[in-house]
Amino acid sequence: MSRIFSNKKGAEINITTIIVIILAILVLVILALYFTGGMKSLWGKITSVKGSWDQTDVENAQANCDSICAGGQIMKDTFCGRTFSVKKGNETLSVPCYGEPVHAEKLEYCKQAGLNADSCS
């Protein structure tokens, strides 16, 4: 029995070489995803947190509300009545200037004009 294993003629491969080959293949797959645009959707799935607000939508709504507030108290009806589409997770919600997550009452022009949730009641 020992005679069978003592005459090895096959090639041995080091475990380090196997690990390096696996890592190289992984890097090639990641590069292929990156250059084909597949990384964008993959990264979106990784980084999206269920129930988190889309920051771009929130910032756009805040900018619009702040410009409405620049008109002062005469823009109260617009401030109170205008809603914006903001994504939260997989759903799109309609939110007013004074609501979560926009909170326009904290913005400079809205503070000066005194426009907030109470002024819309």
**pLDDT tens-digit profile of 83-113?**
999 988 788 999 999 888 998 888 888 888 8
Rounded Cα distance between 46 and 80, Å, is 36
Rounded Cα distance between 121 and 114, Å, is 13
Q: What integer best gives the mean pLDDT of the chain?
A: 83
Average pLDDT over residues 49-62: 83
Residue 28 confidence class, pLDDT cut points 50, 70, 90:
very high
**In sequence order, which residues have a C-beta less than 8 Å from that of residue 31 and are 6 or more positions away?**
none
More confident site: 116 or 45: 116
Token pair, residue 118, equals: 């109470």
Percent of the chain whose predicted confidence (pLDDT) is above 70: 80
Percent of the chain whose predicted confidence (pLDDT) is above 90: 25
Nearest CA to 79 out of 60, 99, 93 is that of 99
Residue 60 confidence class, pLDDT cut points 50, 70, 90:
very high
Largest CA distance in the chain: 99
* Domain ranges (residues) in the chain: 2-47, 55-120
Assign 86 to helix, strand or coil. Answer: strand
